[in-house]
A = this chain, B = another copy of it.
C-alpha cells in the first residue's frame, strides 16, 4: 500500500538566513486534506577527523540549548555546493586542518517530522595544519579525544549531538570490527 502525500499548495511563512519555513496543504492517502509545516534547509556537512587516533571535537555554545556542546566539525552547505567540498571547507575553517582525501561515512535525516535537512558525514585521517579561520560571529574551541574517551562521552551523555554520535559509531563499524 502506498502512503504518498500529494502537495496541493505551499506558502512561504518565514524566509531566514539558515532555513525557510513553508506551510503546505497536502492530500493524504485517504483523500482527506491536511497541512505540513516544513523547515527547508540546504543540508549539512560534517567530518569525523581522526588525527593519529585522536578525534577532533569542537566545543561551542549553542544558543538553542543555552549550553556548550561537543560536536564534530560541521556546517551548512552553501547553495549548490557539493557536500564533500563543504565538509573540507568547514574542517579547515573550524580546526585549521586542510585535507584532500575524504571518505563518506553516512547520510542522515536528523528529525524527519519537520525538516528536509540531510547531514552528510565524512571521515578524514590525513590533514595538514594551516590555521583556523572562523566565520564572523563564530566562537569555538577545538579539542582532541581518544576513541575511548569519545565513546565514554556518548555513554554518559556529555555528547548529545546526533551527527557526532552517528559519525563516531559509523567510524567504529568501519574501522574497528
- Contact indicator B61/A4 (Cβ below 8 Å): yes
Chain B proximity mask over A73-113: 1 for CB below 8 Å, otherwise 0: 00010000000000000000000000000000011111111
How far, in angstroms, from A104 to B169 measured CA to CA in the complex? 19
- Contact indicator A37/B61 (Cβ below 8 Å): no
Number of interface residues of A (CB under 8 A): 64
**Which residues from B are CB-within-8-Å of A125?**
none
Closest Cβ–Cβ distance, residue A123 to chain B (whole Å)? 15
- Contact indicator B60/A139 (Cβ below 8 Å): no
Q: Which of A61, A113, A163, A169 has the most CB of B within 10 A?
A: A113
Closest Cβ–Cβ distance, residue A63 to chain B (whole Å)? 5
- Contact indicator A62/B112 (Cβ below 8 Å): yes
Copies in the complex: 2
**Which residues from B are CB-within-8-Å of A163?**
111, 162
- Contact indicator B114/A39 (Cβ below 8 Å): yes
- Contact indicator B63/A36 (Cβ below 8 Å): yes
A138-171 interface with B by 8 A CB criterion: 139-141, 155, 157, 160-163, 165-166, 169
- Contact indicator A37/B17 (Cβ below 8 Å): yes
Which among B18, B44, B108, B139 is the interface contact of A37 at CB below 8 angstroms?
Answer: B18
